[in-house]
Amino acid sequence: MVKNSSKWIFTTSHKPNKNQIEKALQLANKYGGVYLERNKLQMNKENFYFVIDKKLSLSFQWEDGKLFFHPSVSKIRLNNYLKNGIDYLINAVSPQKSDIILDLTLGLGSDALLLSHFCKEVVGLEASFPIYAVVVENITNYDYKENWMKEASKKIEVINSDFKNFLNEQKEESYDVVYCDPMFENPQYKSSSINPLRKFARYDKITKVDLEKMVKIAKKKVVIKARSNDSVWDLYNFDKKNGSKKSGVFFGVIEK
């Protein structure tokens, strides 16, 4: 995992135009980082840096990799749900038009995009600054091919916060549904969409105390996503547990 840098580097792609340089300077100032011209950037295994490309999108790069925003399989999942009524997340959450949903582990936001299509608002937390910055700077500006995604993205509030600290600050029944999808304790490395996040993600385990705090701030329910052999299932008496035996990924529901 990459440790927080006191000075994040912001740069551009090669041969930048004026708008790219201005955007990189703006973001460096916004996040207390430093701007470096691309041709002055030293390439080595220890160097991580934010890059503004020709479309003014922000990515996070290193010597042999790149983290960038994309809606992943949200489109396929919605199409499948509308066709057959099956999506384990949607079925577990049962989002309503008036709901405000707290997503404690936002990642690149594909779950939040899907949920926000059905609800009033999703408040998404991301503890890792590189992931947070890439999502918050791109999620409403991405060139979505589907209009529903464009509209859904406007209903997502992105916050750079650790969910454990955040839970301590919330009042009772602050959100309709609380959803938590921590990094799996027993991951499979086949997922090309998740693999770039692994280097920067937080790996905090859910504790029983965390679950109790989630239940306290939820009006309707708490939904947890985990692999079948992760330890969270031993911590609480879940009312429902549904998922795919093939993938080994399950959604546990605690009803209020």
Q: Identify the domain containing residue 232 by its residue range.
A: 74-255
Q: For residue 240, which amino acid is it?
A: K
Least confident of 62-71, 106-115, 132-141, 235-244: 62-71
Phi, psi (rounded to 5 degrees) for 162: -80, 130
Please count the structural domains in the chain. Answer: 2
134 burial type by CB count under 10 A (0-12 exposed, 13-18 middle, 19+ buried)? buried
pTM > 0.85: yes
> Is residue 4 in some structural domain?
no
CB distance 52 to 37 below 8 Å: no
Cα 16 to Cα 151: distance, rounded to the nearest angstrom: 31
Q: Per the domain annotation, does 130 fall within a domain?
A: yes
| Same-domain check for residues 26 and 100 | no
- The pLDDT, as a whole number, for residue 199 is 64
- Confirm whether 1 is domain-assigned: no
203 in the same domain as 153: yes
- Residue 3 in any domain: the answer is no
pLDDT tens-digit profile of 112-127?
999 999 999 999 999 9
Q: Is the pLDDT of residue 6 over 80?
A: no
